[in-house]
Amino acid sequence: MPGRLDITWLVLIGFALATILLPPLMPRPLLANALLLVLAAIKGRRIALDFMDLRAVPALWRGLVSAWILIVVLVAWLASAVVALI
């Protein structure tokens, strides 16, 4: 029976493949960027929770790390939106 790390590893590989395969299929670059950044946020959270073992820490620390990942993704999306509009 695969453990949590094995499942997370498989999910990360799937998301990495989706990151490579999805952009050519997306008709709008801004939507593609948003989708890729959502995948990046999910990957970051899975890495933080499972590989950095943050599931065992208090909720405050999990929330801070998750908020940091969300802020980084939002700033990256805003930057891509500005570039797309120029």
Residues with Cβ < 8 Å from 81, sequence gap 6 or more? 30, 33
Count of CB atoms within 10 A of residue 23's CB? 13
Q: Which token pair is 14?
A: 């799937």
pLDDT in tens, 4-33: 888 999 999 999 999 899 888 888 878 888
pLDDT in tens, 18-73: 989 988 888 887 888 888 999 999 999 999 999 898 989 999 999 999 999 999 99
* Number of domains into which the chain is organized: 1
Burial class (CB within 10 angstroms; exposed 0-12, middle 13-18, buried 19+) of 36: buried
- pLDDT for the residue 28: 83
- pLDDT for the residue 1: 78
Q: Which token pair is 54?
A: 């943050």
